[in-house]
Structure 1
Amino acid sequence: MKIAQILFLFSFISAQWSSDSAYLLEKNRKEFGIFTPFKMGMNNGSELSINKFLLMPSLSLKQEMSMYKSWKMARKFRVEYPTPGLKWLQSPLGGEMGDPNMFSLISTQFTIPHMLSFFTEFIGTKGSVKSGQLSLSVATGIALNTKDLSNDATIDLPIIYPRLSVYYNDFVIGSGAEYLRQISNRFYYLIDYDMYLMPGSAGRYAFEQQSLLVWHKSSRINLSFGYKLIAGEYPYGGQAHLLPNINLKFGW
């Protein structure tokens, strides 16, 4: 598999429904990470997020909501156009070598139509980072113009399969939780989980749990490292995987 494709796959680790908090970036602050989207705090009490990988263009907007008792609330809307990325994963390199399916994650026999997906997420956050901050989220996603996409064209890999399942099933439900706490002046630890429910698809669920140690070197540099545990049901059966998770973020 080409190195670029591996990076493309790892970009999904923090994409879509990573369980972030209901807090928004402050106005005009910008952040981006190696494996996370570009984010920017807006003037109107909202936060804009753009996927840096142009082969999988996506745009999301997070907005503040009214407090619910002691919970800070936010909502997030996201739209994604996956067609260029999925076509790229069919890999023309294999065709040049005489085997169209060599180095490809999706066989060239399948047609990839022009599709769109839309996601809506609600997030609630309670507590402070110093004493422990808990965030809960629930989300739904739908996809359009997927009727020409074969159910056999799935990418049956951890992390990837549940995030693309909406295009094969037209619908997906997600939930998540995150616990963040400061343990010293510059170190934090984060524990979160994400659950994907895919009713009607060959793989019906996926569960992801990660633990990270986060180092805030300054307001400009943030390094996190830890693991991600994935367990789920795929078209070929259930499996579990343990993967390293590292990310370097920059802000200004």
Structure 2
Amino acid sequence: MKVNKEGDRMKRLIKVIIFVTLLSADEKTWSSHSAEIIEQGRWEIGLFQPLRYGYSNYAEFSIHPGWFFLIPNLEIKEAQKSLFGYKTASQYRLTYPTMLLNMLSGDGIGKVIAPEHEIPHMFSFSGSFIGTRSFKDTKLSLSSGLDIGIVLGDLNPISTIDLPLVYHRLGVFYNGWGFHTGIDIERAISGKFEILFDLDLIALPGYDGNYSIENKLLFSWNKSRDFRITTGYKFISGEFPYGKDSRLLPYVPILERWVPIVEFQWARNKK
């Protein structure tokens, strides 16, 4: 009985790791959700967030150092010409999840993928076009893009991880492609406080569980240009192989309850 309880705890811990990994790749640091490019020489990072670096006033790079050796990743955002009063940018992301997924495959405590499913080398490529426009204290950002999953080998279609947030993020490898679109509204409330609301759609046409709708509401306190604290929630609703499901995140399986996002973010300008 004790072994079973410890095994259950470990499986819950692994689920937490998966959730944190994918949430951290998705949350926002300063203007990462918009078409704005951070200035040359500036870097921004969060406790669970990617490291963003302003390569020039027209391009920035982003990687997640904490997860890089489990999920190698690279994101590039490049400024484009303004259109209809909107600042625009193109954004490209490359991710290699094979190492982490194979760590989760096998028998024993902490494994969430059956041992007969060896995950082949896989790469995901996402390209997005973002437009941002300012209205007094409010910024509106619109984005749309295409997701491509490249699998170099045989990927068993029943090797999926059927968890909210995880399933549709990895679904592009099983479906081959998908698209995403979203809207972000950022508004200064008063003084050093601001709020961010976003609504996103991830679609995998023809896939078993072909969409996920995601909503996030974040409140931020900006102590300065170099430090802020963010809290809020993420809500997911979509179709899965077992039917429709919804989840308020972060949901911590160990505690079996929802807890608010709490994120610390730092930034510096190159002197």
TM-score after normalising by structure 2: 0.84
The aligned amino acid for 1:135 is: S
Match of 1:10 among 17, 20, 24: 20
Alignment of 1:181-200 (within 5 A): 181-200=187-206
C-alpha distance 194-14 of structure 1, shift in aligned 2 (>3 A): farther
SS in 1 for 2:200: strand
Alignment of 1:5-44 (within 5 A): 6-15=16-25, 20-43=33-56
Decide whether the 8 Å contact of 1:55 with 1:84 is kept in 2.
Answer: yes
Match of 2:74 among 36, 47, 59: 59
The aligned amino acid for 2:132 is: T
Matched with 2:104 is 89
RMSD (Å), alpha carbons: 1.9
The aligned amino acid for 2:75 is: S
**2:251 matches 1:238:** no
Separation of aligned partners in 2, 1:5 and 1:220:
32
**2:181 matches 1:141:** no
Q: Which moved more, 1:11-20 or 1:43-52?
A: 11-20
Q: Once the 2 structures are TM-superposed, how far is the Cα of residue 35 of structure 1 from its aligned partner?
A: 2.1
Q: Once the 2 structures are TM-superposed, how far is the Cα of residue 101 of structure 1 from its aligned partner?
A: 4.7
C-alpha distance 62-14 of structure 1, shift in aligned 2 (>3 A): same
The C-alpha deviation readout for 1:201-251, integer Å capped at 9, x for no partner, is 111100000111111112221111111111011111110111232321111
Decide whether the 8 Å contact of 1:174 with 1:195 is kept in 2.
Answer: yes
Separation of aligned partners in 1, 2:16 and 2:92:
27
The aligned amino acid for 2:20 is: F
Separation of aligned partners in 2, 1:251 and 1:2:
33
Decide whether the 8 Å contact of 2:138 with 2:187 is kept in 1.
Answer: yes
Q: What percent of counterpart residues are identical?
A: 36
Unaligned runs of 5+ in 2: 1-10, 250-259
Q: Aligned pair count?
A: 243
Separation of aligned partners in 1, 2:54 and 2:130:
17
TM-score after normalising by structure 1: 0.90
Unaligned runs of 5+ in 1: 92-99
SS in 2 for 1:27: coil
Match of 2:169 among 156, 163, 181: 163
